[in-house]
Chains A and B, each alone.
Chain A
């Protein structure tokens, strides 16, 4: 079976590219960290890859608003290519800053039953950058292919603008994948379980196809058990909770 090829987009201010590549490599894929200029200048083609990742970071300094400038650049300079990539069955994963970019570029939440809810991400309610570990409850009903078979995860967040804002009426048209939860899985948990004040505790969403997925927490930072903040207290499994997301994506491509 030929190896799955992953494009990890690098832009000025991207900073989680290496560990994201590592996670996919552990899951058996071949990764290329590609500078946006290489795509714009057509030195590399998106269509040579099966999965595109927009990793965490502060693209263009997150000046004006997090992810905004890259979102415009993608929309205006690579919009058609990306749309074709998605239409042809490609997978897109946005982590943290990547979530902000995908939303602001209009690639998420996308249309569900003819409705496309207006959604954005903005400053945390605490007014602070928050680096902390959160419990996540996975929506088993979501079409997301990245989270198949996962019920819950424990992952770190590290962001200042992770609060999802969306009208409550629009929730039925949103494919929510992850909720911030308490340690028992309760999805109504307040701060600090919900670290940013997201509406309905939303931590990750996907499009109707389940192939475009974005989340604020960082699965690539929980690949090994020694990344778990309490690993010195308990005997843990070898792999961290985030690993399955990468395995799922690679397996899905292999089997489709």
Chain B
């Protein structure tokens, strides 16, 4: 065994150490002056010193900037000076460490073949006076996540010996079970009473007890995550019975709209629309909430890895071309004493999630061009991590494939370990205090390079037509992927053929493991050899693990013994429909009562500085948003490339002028008053953004992602019904079909008798096809003397607004949507934009007119003068602050050249609009109130500073 330490030469700045010093300071510990980070490598081998020198010099250390020590240098290592504390951290056994694989490969290149295994660790030398308690705080809050890591004593690191697995068929004696035993089974597998009854009846008919893997398979297949049983259930809502909420709202809208350009909706891993007659686009957004709550970095990274495999597993496989990520966290400055027990601090979750997403997506070479981050205290224990991927595939490959009996089941990509075992049932259950310590096996880290290799070779296999069908291995592992794929045919799988990361997995663990970076292919026998050699040529593992049959049975074998034999009929159609009750009552909040502040400039600054509104540049610049060379409108726009773009535009085919617009709408603040109007607002917002950048509604598709509290509570479910109804009502009028969606229910946390439920959260993601990217419009003001218009009607709608929130109120006047009026406005604005009459356009959302105009001014480096008296109002409003900060929907601020005034107004016709001001060179934003008094007078640099400061980390 050899131990090698690599560290930066002492005269060089240690960026990792410096950032830790800052993080420690943020914890309130001010005595740490320096941290050195040392990389530690353990080699399980017996090597001569010259070999070790070679390894250090040519692989592990960069001699220009680093020093290294090996073996003998480790002696006496924990004797350090009084004010230097040493902490060494290694991954727990079973946690994937991608670097170890790479080092083994690199050692092979160096012709060093007798290294049996490699482990890495990280050693922190912390300088400064600390007591034991403070050191413990630093460890637990910054250095270690016990779910994946532990502290090692320098000489005690052991390479884990994998226990050998000895086969034993496990049966669960359901048929003769007592009531208590049945209850245990129900809880262990998360079945409802009805489900368990159906299972007992099925096995009574079979005259045998189920095996453990049969119950696991049923639990996975029938889980909320896989089958969306709440959405598909029967819901008693007042006097009406809703049979399948999904079908009666969201899918119904799509069916009624019946757009010919919808190529594949709600039936594959992602929804597919026609792009240009030759190519198709597929789009999917998923959540990875629970894993991100307990291990933010790994949870978010595997969220990306998982959603990228959705387009890859759609039709016959799409190339991922864009990512969008939306996060909801508690405020990063939450006091530690308000943190529930067993929960990671939001700052750590935020930083971990950001890093996980960036590291994974950047390595895959997929541009992250769109997203949003929202903050609310109630996300403290249930942060939300939405990851979305857009894919591009040939239109003629956009339909889901179909295997024939006799086709082989081929597992490709990464190996199978204990990763994420029970992840799906975990995702569907509530988090409790204990989750952060006992559910370690649900956590995955992920290896983006394995996935990148998989994508590269899969797309070649697709173009060579080597497989008949493809799907991804996601939640539920092989159980879900193979079980669903074979629903119409039947399948026989040989579980002992599955390549393992380490020995010791039982047949059940192999079947339900959620190890990342795997896909399943159905391959006709005459293509198998060519496929296997193609995969081998790119060093991607591909293994025949079974065969599709025509007996409609799911049969699993291990070492020749049948361990599972279920009828597909029962597995996929035997689940009793869930019965739920829902109620809805309009909540009443305190109506705010405060006198308007005399200087609204200060109020504007404070909204610009709020967590929700402030610049997210710190996050955006750490994502590669330029890779693939497709960006047309970037997330940051304007004179200095730092203004907030409404939506992203890419040109997926580099020599075509056609583009795709990607946007998102989300506003959980409105759900507290009425989830119906929250959903309507989110759809309106996503569409406004598409229009604002120069798009149109001719070909726009939507995705829904519901993240909700515990829907077995009738009021929670009632809120869900309200939101789904709005989805139908809006989609029909805007003619924007939903093409796919996802839900994450039960986002509730219980601690010390307290229940924390997340706000009802609906993310609407939209894609729109743009005929000519040269028509794109950015939101920054372009030129002095141009006119500033407001389009749309301002109502007294400050319920849930950032302005009310800054006073601690929710209010009652939720922003509503009139979709007919909104659609007319949007269509006309698109027309004006196509005629190049719109020089800049920004939608009014959080912070209303005030924030929109401020952002346009500082992004363009120009001043503006604005008069509120001409703003079209829906009803008399006598307060300047209400007009300035109302968040009424369907409104835009538009910049128009003086000479285009008449033509613009003529095109807009009877749409409510008004010219409310002018752009100027003053670099000051001046806003005049109803009585002609100046109510805002702020320099654009001050406004911009307020907006950028909070997240300038």
| A interface residues (Cβ-Cβ under 8 A, vs B) | 10, 12-16, 18-19, 22-23, 26, 35, 37-38, 56-58, 60-65, 68-69, 72-73, 76-77, 104, 118-120, 122-133, 156, 158, 165, 218, 220-221, 223-224, 226-227, 229-230, 232-233
Indicate if B561 sits at the interface (CB-CB under 8 A): no
Contact with A along B623-656 (1 / 0, CB 8 A): 1111111111110111101000000000100110
Considering the complex, give the chain A residue whose CB is closest to the CB of B537. Answer: A37
Q: Is the CB of A56 within 8 A of B627?
A: yes
Q: Is the CB of A127 within 8 A of B654?
A: no
Contact with A along B596-628 (1 / 0, CB 8 A): 000000000000000000000000111111111
A123 to B102, CA, bound (A): 20
Q: Is the CB of A15 within 8 A of B452?
A: yes
| B interface residues (Cβ-Cβ under 8 A, vs A) | 12-13, 15-16, 18-19, 58-60, 62-65, 98-99, 102-103, 105-106, 109-111, 358, 362-365, 447-449, 452-453, 456, 537-539, 620-634, 636-639, 641, 651, 654-655, 773-774, 776-778, 780, 782, 860
Q: Is the CB of B452 within 8 A of A19?
A: no
Contacts of B537 in A (CB 8 A): 35, 37-38
Distance in angstroms from A107 CB to nearest chain B CB is 15
Contacts of B631 in A (CB 8 A): 227
Instruction: Name A232's contact: one of B15, B16, B655, B777 (CB within 8 Å).
Output: B777
What are 9 inter-chain pairs, A to B, with CB distance below 8 A? A15-B365, A15-B452, A72-B58, A123-B16, A127-B16, A132-B641, A224-B654, A226-B651, A226-B776
Contacts of B453 in A (CB 8 A): 12-13
Contacts of B620 in A (CB 8 A): 131
Instruction: Name B448's contact: one of A61, A72, A122 (CB within 8 Å).
Output: A61
A62 to B103, CA, bound (A): 11
A35 to B535, CA, bound (A): 12
Considering the complex, give the chain A residue whose CB is closest to the CB of B774. Answer: A226
Contacts of B621 in A (CB 8 A): 128-132
Contacts of B16 in A (CB 8 A): 123, 127
Q: Is the CB of A63 within 8 A of B102?
A: yes
Known: A218-B629, A226-B773. 10 other contacts (CB 8 A): A12-B452, A18-B628, A37-B538, A57-B365, A61-B447, A63-B99, A120-B65, A129-B621, A131-B624, A227-B632
A123 to B629, CA, bound (A): 24
Q: Is the CB of A58 within 8 A of B449?
A: yes
Considering the complex, give the chain B residue whose CB is closest to the CB of A22. Answer: B654
Distance in angstroms from A137 CB to nearest chain B CB is 19
Q: Which 4 A-B pairs have the closest CB atoms?
A: A15-B365, A19-B629, A127-B15, A63-B102
Q: Is the CB of A122 within 8 A of B65?
A: yes
Q: Is the CB of A129 within 8 A of B358?
A: yes
A229 to B627, CA, bound (A): 14
Contacts of A63 in B (CB 8 A): 98-99, 102-103
Instruction: Name A221's contact: one of B105, B456, B626, B651 (CB within 8 Å).
Output: B626
Instruction: Name A64's contact: one of B103, B448, B624, B641 (CB within 8 Å).
Output: B103
Instruction: Name B622's contact: one of A77, A120, A122, A129 (CB within 8 Å).
Output: A129
Known: A76-B109, A125-B13, A127-B16. A35 touches B627 (CB 8 A): no
Contacts of A233 in B (CB 8 A): 638-639, 778, 780, 782, 860
Q: Is the CB of B363 within 8 A of A230?
A: no
Contacts of B18 in A (CB 8 A): 127
Instruction: Name A58's contact: one of B106, B362, B634, B637 (CB within 8 Å).
Output: B362
Contacts of A61 in B (CB 8 A): 98-99, 102, 363, 447-449
Contacts of B628 in A (CB 8 A): 16, 18-19
Interface centre among B16, B622, B774, B782 (most CB of A within 10 A): B622
Considering the complex, give the chain A residue whose CB is closest to the CB of B629. Answer: A19
A35 to B452, CA, bound (A): 13
Q: Is the CB of B449 within 8 A of A13?
A: yes
Known: A60-B449, A123-B15. A15 touches B627 (CB 8 A): yes
Q: Is the CB of B627 within 8 A of A232?
A: no
Contacts of B98 in A (CB 8 A): 61, 63
A185 to B50, CA, bound (A): 49
Considering the complex, give the chain A residue whose CB is closest to the CB of B693. Answer: A232
Instruction: Name B623's contact: one of A64, A125, A131 (CB within 8 Å).
Output: A131
A218 to B776, CA, bound (A): 23
Contacts of B773 in A (CB 8 A): 226
A81 to B220, CA, bound (A): 53
Contacts of A104 in B (CB 8 A): 62
Contacts of A224 in B (CB 8 A): 651, 654
Q: Is the CB of B774 within 8 A of A220?
A: no
A130 to B620, CA, bound (A): 9
Instruction: Name A76's contact: one of B110, B449, B622 (CB within 8 Å).
Output: B110
A62 to B448, CA, bound (A): 11
